[in-house]
Amino acid sequence: MRTPPLSTISLTKHEIGVAALLAVALALVMHWPLPLHIGSDVPKDLGDPLPQAWQIAWGGHALQHQPLDYWQSNMYWPLDNTLAFSDALVGYAPFGMIGEGFEAAIARYDLLFLFAYALAFLGTYLLARELGLGRPAAALAGAAFAYAPWRLEQDGHMHVISSGGIPLALFLLVRGYRRDSPWTVFAGWLVATWQLALGFTLGLMFAYLLGALGVVLLLSWRRRRPERKILAASAAGAAIFLAMGVLLALPYQEVRDDHPESERTADTVAAFSGGPEMFVAASGLSTVWGPITEPVRDGLDCVPEQTLLPGLLVVILAGVGLSRASPFPKRLRVGLGVAVVALAVLSLGFQTPAHGVP
C-alpha cells in the first residue's frame, strides 16, 4: 500500500485529541507507579532530579522577583551567573511560578517529567502523520521516539528527555510551508525557540538541524518563490529563535570566561565516547534488554552515556522503511539512510590517546 498523497491526509481536531490522550495514557502507564506519588517521589534517582526541580522553582521565582537578574541564583554565592552552571531549563520557568515550597517543586518536576514523555510521543505522531504515515505507523513512530530503551538511563536528566519540542516544531514548520500558512510557520519557530530555551544539550543540535533544513528549503524556493507572508513569518520566527540563542549564550560565555576550567576538553568528551558496542547495550533498568545486554554493559566505562540501544523492533521497522518495500521514493530513502549512519557515527563521539587511541 502506497502512502496517500498530501491532499488526502487530514488531521482533524478529534484525531489530535485522541493522540494527545493516548500520549498522556502511555506516559502514565510507562512510569507507573510515579503517578501515585506526585510530589513525594522523583523518577530514577536523587542525583540530578532534585537540583533540576530547584532550577525550575528558581526560574519561577526569578521571573516574578528579579527578571533582570535571572541568572544570579541563590547558590554558590558570591559567584556570578550560577544558574548557568548547567542547562537551566529556562523554557520550564513559567511553571515554576505555580505553587511554593519543597512539595510543590517535586510535584512540578514529576508532572513536567510525564509531560516531556507525552509531548515526545505526540510531537512525533503529528510529524509522522504530516509526512504521510498512517495512524498506526505514526503511533509506532511516536512510541519509538519517546520510549526507546536508551532513554531509561537519561530519566534523571530533564534537559535530555525534554525533546518533544523538536518533532512538534518540525511538524508545524513542514505543515506551514506546505500549506502556505504563515501563522503555522511562525508557531513552528516559537516552539523551536521554546525547545532551545530548555537547554543547549539538545537545543544546539536542533539549531544545526534547522540550519541544514533551511539550506534545503532555500534551494527549493529557487524553483517556487514563496509568498511574502511566508517569508515574513520565516524571518520573524528565525529572528526570535536567534535572539533567544544569543540571550541564553551570554551568561554561559561569561561563566566560561570566569571559570576557564569549565571548558570541556577533548579528553573529557572521549571519556564518554565509545565504540559500536554501545548500540547493543541497554540500561540495567530495562526489564527485557537489561539482563540480555549485561555482558556488553559491564565492559563500558560510563554506563549512563554509553547505553545507546535503540530497540530491536525500532531497528527492524527502520530497516523496512529504508528498503524497497517502503512506499517512499528511493532518493528520500537513500538520504534518510545516509543521515542515520552519519548521526550514528557522530553519536559515538571520538577517542584520544588517553582513552584508547594510540
Beta strand segments in 144-239, E: none
252 and 281 part of one domain: no
Confidence of residue 7 (pLDDT cuts 50, 70, 90): very low
User: Do the domain assignments include residue 5?
Assistant: no
Q: Which of 162-166, 220-224, 257-261, 298-302 has the lowest mean pLDDT?
A: 220-224
105 and 219 part of one domain: yes
Among residues 214, 236, 263, which one ends one of the domains?
A: 263
User: Do the domain assignments include residue 3?
Assistant: no
DSSP-H helix ranges across the chain = 13-30, 49-65, 101-130, 135-147, 158-161, 165-178, 182-197, 200-221, 228-258, 266-271, 289-292, 294-298, 303-306, 312-322, 330-347
User: Do the domain assignments include residue 2?
Assistant: no
Q: Which of 2-16, 60-74, 84-98 has the lowest mean pLDDT?
A: 2-16
Query: Read out DSSP for 42-59?
Result: -SS-SSSHHHHHHHHHHH
275 and 258 part of one domain: no
Q: Which three cell numbers stand for residue 161?
A: 528527555
Instruction: For CA atoms 87, 90, 94, 96, give the dihedral sign.
Output: positive
238 and 133 part of one domain: yes
Confidence of residue 357 (pLDDT cuts 50, 70, 90): low
For residue 33, cis peptide bond before it (omega within 30 degrees of 0): yes
User: Do the domain assignments include residue 353?
Assistant: yes
pLDDT value, residue 358: 52
168 and 304 part of one domain: no
Among residues 235, 263, 291, which one ends one of the domains?
A: 263
pLDDT value, residue 175: 95
What is the residue range of 184's domain? 10-263
Please state the φ and ψ torsions of residue 314, each to the nearest 5 degrees: -60, -45
Average pLDDT estimate for 274-298: 90
pLDDT value, residue 356: 60
Report whether pLDDT(8) > 60: no
- Taking the C-alpha atoms of residue 241 and residue 190, their distance in angstroms, rounded to an integer, is 7
User: 305-347, pLDDT tens digit by residue?
Assistant: 889 999 888 889 888 888 888 878 888 889 889 999 998 998 8
pLDDT value, residue 3: 44
Confidence of residue 52 (pLDDT cuts 50, 70, 90): very high
199 and 341 part of one domain: no
Q: Which of 15-19, 133-137, 239-243 has the lowest mean pLDDT?
A: 133-137
The candidate with the shortest Cα–Cα distance to 317, out of 175, 52, 140, is 140
Higher pLDDT, 31 or 264: 31
Task: Answer yes or no: are the C-beta atoms of 313 and 228 closer than 8 Å.
Answer: no
124 and 237 part of one domain: yes
237 and 324 part of one domain: no
Burial 244-255, CB ≥16 within 10 A → b, else e: bbeebeebbeeb
252 and 104 part of one domain: yes
255 and 303 part of one domain: no
Among residues 229, 263, 297, which one ends one of the domains?
A: 263
Q: Which three cell numbers stand for residue 26?
A: 502511555
pLDDT value, residue 354: 60
Count, in order, helices (H) and strands (E) of the chain: 15, 0
Q: What total of structural domains would you count in the chain?
A: 2
pLDDT value, residue 32: 94
259 and 272 part of one domain: no
Confidence of residue 1 (pLDDT cuts 50, 70, 90): very low
196 and 239 part of one domain: yes
Q: Which three cell numbers stand for residue 89?
A: 531549563
pLDDT value, residue 353: 67
User: 74-130, pLDDT tens digit by residue?
Assistant: 998 899 999 999 889 999 999 999 998 999 999 999 999 999 999 999 999 999 999
User: Do the domain assignments include residue 209?
Assistant: yes
User: Do the domain assignments include residue 4?
Assistant: no
Average pLDDT estimate for 37-62: 92
- Taking the C-alpha atoms of residue 322 and residue 314, their distance in angstroms, rounded to an integer, is 12
